[in-house]
Structure 1
């Protein structure tokens, strides 16, 4: 058997493939990286430059990959309503005191959660007609808010934001098939 294998390879060992070749490539690459670092001067400035180059290269690759493949649109479905409602429910035990400077995060979050729930209800397979009441409540709120999401403006509409959140929660609790 040894003679037959030696005859096929003309006395040389066959090329290694698979796991052994992969391991060898990793060892060689690690050695090259350490040699490159040692010969490039090293130090904090060199490390920072290499890191900046790596980040820029990664960003460029990500941009190019994004251009090459269009992102697939998420498919609407009941899971979107369930997930959006769950994140809105997570705000139920939270509040803030308007004028005390602690409302920017809370009111911004509740407004974002309502916006996401609104979008998922409109995209749901049951159709917006099924979610008529909560969609009407959210539309009234968004009309009052307009495009201004500044803290003073949101604080001005504190009771409407929290009231809409609470009314949507009550409606959803009466429709457990929409979030379970």
Structure 2
């Protein structure tokens, strides 16, 4: 049986996204601040049984319950996401585009978590300042060519924050 090309393409996007959501879940449920954009937050029909799509499962898993707001993500969880990029790099153009986009996203995620932390943003002045500086340097253009042009600043900011956080173990343990 030949699977139509659009179905195969959707599966290539939805399955990794569903696995990412499943792998990033905590004991309290899906990671707060998760996004359905990777799975194409379009209108997927949720059905029971094997017909249920990975995109539908992802969308359902990341949608907060009606009337509830997700709690701010913990700095520890956001920092773990940033640390997960430490062993990555640019080995090919496609992998480099993913890597640089992920580093940028993880820095933004950590910035949001630090600003929402009960200790307050004043507890994390340097990392928040470094991320703001990077945001200004990169500007609104999140394209791969622009991120690649600012690769040193992007990776340097990640590394500085990693070093800073290592000196503040109570904030991520």
TM class by smaller structure: 0.5 to 0.7
Q: 1:74: how far off?
A: 2.3
1:109-137 C-alpha deviation (Å, 9 max, x unpaired): 00000000000000000000000000000
Please give the alpha-carbon distance, in whole angstroms, between the structure 2 residues aligned to 1:92 and 1:82.
16
Relative contact order, CA 8 A, sep 6+: which one is greater? 1
2:66 corresponds, among 46, 69, 85, to 69
* Structure with greater proportional helix content: 1
Across the aligned residues of Structure 1 and Structure 2, the Cα RMSD in angstroms comes to: 2.5
Q: 1:97: how far off?
A: 5.5
1:91 corresponds, among 78, 85, 98, to 85
Which of 1 and 2 has greater Rg?
A: 1
1:139 equivalent in alignment to 2:132: yes
Please give the alpha-carbon distance, in whole angstroms, between the structure 2 residues aligned to 1:69 and 1:97.
43
1:9-34 C-alpha deviation (Å, 9 max, x unpaired): xxxxxxxxxxxxxxxxxxxxxxxxxx
Structure 2: which 5+ residue stretches go unaligned? 1-43, 48-55
Structure 1 pair 127–96 and aligned structure 2 pair: CA distance change class (3 A): same
Please give the alpha-carbon distance, in whole angstroms, between the structure 2 residues aligned to 1:80 and 1:92.
20
> Which SS does the other structure have where 2:124 is aligned?
helix
Q: 1:56: how far off?
A: 4.1
Q: 1:102: how far off?
A: 3.7
1:108 corresponds, among 83, 101, 106, to 101
Structure-2-length-normalised TM-score: 0.61
Runs of 4+ in 1 over 2 A off after TM superposition: 55-59
- Residue 116 of structure 2 corresponds to which residue in structure 1? 123
Structure 1 pair 129–102 and aligned structure 2 pair: CA distance change class (3 A): same
Structure 1 pair 101–125 and aligned structure 2 pair: CA distance change class (3 A): same
- Residue 19 of structure 1 corresponds to which residue in structure 2? none
Structure 1 pair 132–101 and aligned structure 2 pair: CA distance change class (3 A): same
Q: 1:108: how far off?
A: 0.2
Q: 1:144: how far off?
A: 1.1
Aligned residues: 117
> Which SS does the other structure have where 1:93 is aligned?
coil
